[in-house]
A = this chain, B = another copy of it.
Amino acid sequence: MNDAYLKFVNSPFGGRLARSLGLPKPEVLRRYRADRPEFGGLIAIGAGREPRLLDAFASFIASVGMTSVAHESAGLWVPLATRHGLMTGRFEPAEAGSPGKLAALLFDASGIDDSSLLEPLHGFFHDTLRSLGKCGRIVVLGRPPEACANPRQWTAQRALEGLVRSLGKEARRGITANLVYVEAGSERGIEATLRFFLSPRSAYVSGQVVRIAAQGALAHDAAAFDWRQPLAGRRALVTGAARGIGAAIASVLAAEGAHVIGLDIPSARDALDATIRQLNGSTLAFDIAAPEAAAQIAAALDELGVDIVVHNAGITKDKTIAKMTDAAWQSVIDINLSAQERIDDALLAAGILRDGGRIVAVSSISGIAGNPGQTNYATSKAGVIGRVQSMAPQLRARGITINAVAPGFIETQMTAKMPFALREAGRRMNSMSQGGQPVDVAQTIAWLAHPGSAGVTGQVVRVCGQSLIGA
């Protein structure tokens, strides 16, 4: 952890000092550890009228072994939970004086079809938010607005975004708040996504809106998998894997069971070997800027094929545009964007990326919001968003998903070199008041690469602690 301030204010003396001076006190985020239980504690359930997803919740909660309590808005929950053999009780607002009692808040807003029916959301979060513990989880589920039958329903569902983003900014204390739009018919496909957003794996993902599509062809290859080793038997190509975020991605995918093929430029071969050796993976040393690299990568992967492609390799060459050379513009666009296109085209045309596969591309908050001094980088990263949005429909028939993650301020060697004031602003201007870790990006990618994420495609998920900065 590079954040000395975070350590300081969470020491006994530092904490007292921060309190007396009114300084921000970022929470030490709880992150996933293989040696600790991933789920546990009490989850409060709330619902609007005619909730459609309670059954899907119940089987999820049963499978992870949490205990539920029903808010008065979710009157249907108790009999339903009992049918599923779940431990359950009623949430008593009187206990709101007992902070930290709850581990998660889950609200089913799927049946709300008019703006005048949004009130149960207020009732639920009004009653429960203070009882949610540190690093707690908030998930609201609704229906994709654009798939709604009429403008009133679309409007009510779209309104949920404003609520969830506000809750994330209001809750603080390491709490995340996310909105999942579940298309009718995709209920069976929500478990991998619910697990991610309720797990410590999503420690630095907040204020996000994710859609789960009815899977149809996408369910293609979802086959059976083991929740403890969901990527077992799968081969994952990770570009830029030698160091930093790429190395974290390789490590998390390997921990989930994948055979990782780490790729980096020939000059980083030693670091790449060191990173990948401990994961029992294999390595490829190519410069993806070279026109022939895509064909070479395809040839190298041809025999065994690949199931997951993570486009992580990227460079920055920051300068104001008036001072930016043509070479600095071109190389950033080429490596961060065009090379991804060339590699995917080669792997897809030859069927090397198998049906049911996963593509995850690394975009950036700069690609969403723009950034001074990064016209080249922001253009390339906005293009990555276009890639994901444009290719998702085309890849559907083959059951392949394509998504992007957009990191915010992540603590790396690169950010450690930033000027102090800029670094501190980037670190603090988010709902967690701290930078993220490479593993936060990696865990998000692992969720998107999951066989259970077949319904998640064409999306951009920020890993930014709900940064204030956006478009």
| Cα separation A293 to B180 with both chains bound (whole Å) | 36
Asked if A443 is at the interface (CB within 8 A of a chain B CB), the reply is no
Asked if A170 is at the interface (CB within 8 A of a chain B CB), the reply is yes
| Cα separation A469 to B362 with both chains bound (whole Å) | 22
Asked if A63 is at the interface (CB within 8 A of a chain B CB), the reply is no
| Cα separation A57 to B467 with both chains bound (whole Å) | 38
A156-167 vs B, Cβ < 8 Å mask (1 yes, 0 no): 111111111111
Q: Which among A126, A146, A337, A386 has the greatest number of chain B C-beta atoms within 10 A?
A: A386
| Cα separation A162 to B329 with both chains bound (whole Å) | 13
| Cα separation A390 to B149 with both chains bound (whole Å) | 10
Q: CB-CB < 8 A to A470: which residues of B?
A: 368-369, 469-471
| Cα separation A297 to B366 with both chains bound (whole Å) | 46
Q: Is the CB of B338 within 8 A of A162?
A: no
Q: Is the CB of B321 within 8 A of A126?
A: yes
Q: Is the CB of B371 within 8 A of A169?
A: yes
Q: Is the CB of A386 within 8 A of B469?
A: no
Q: CB-CB < 8 A to A324: which residues of B?
A: 122, 126
Asked if A382 is at the interface (CB within 8 A of a chain B CB), the reply is yes
Asked if A271 is at the interface (CB within 8 A of a chain B CB), the reply is no
Q: CB < 8 Å: which of B121, B366, B387 contacts A151? A: B387
Asked if A333 is at the interface (CB within 8 A of a chain B CB), the reply is yes
Asked if A116 is at the interface (CB within 8 A of a chain B CB), the reply is yes
Asked if A125 is at the interface (CB within 8 A of a chain B CB), the reply is yes
Q: Is the CB of B330 within 8 A of A156?
A: no
Give A contacts to B, CB under 8 Å: 96, 115-116, 118-119, 121-123, 125-126, 129-130, 145-146, 148, 150-152, 154-170, 207, 320-322, 324, 326, 329-330, 333-334, 337-338, 341, 366-383, 385-387, 389-391, 394, 468-471
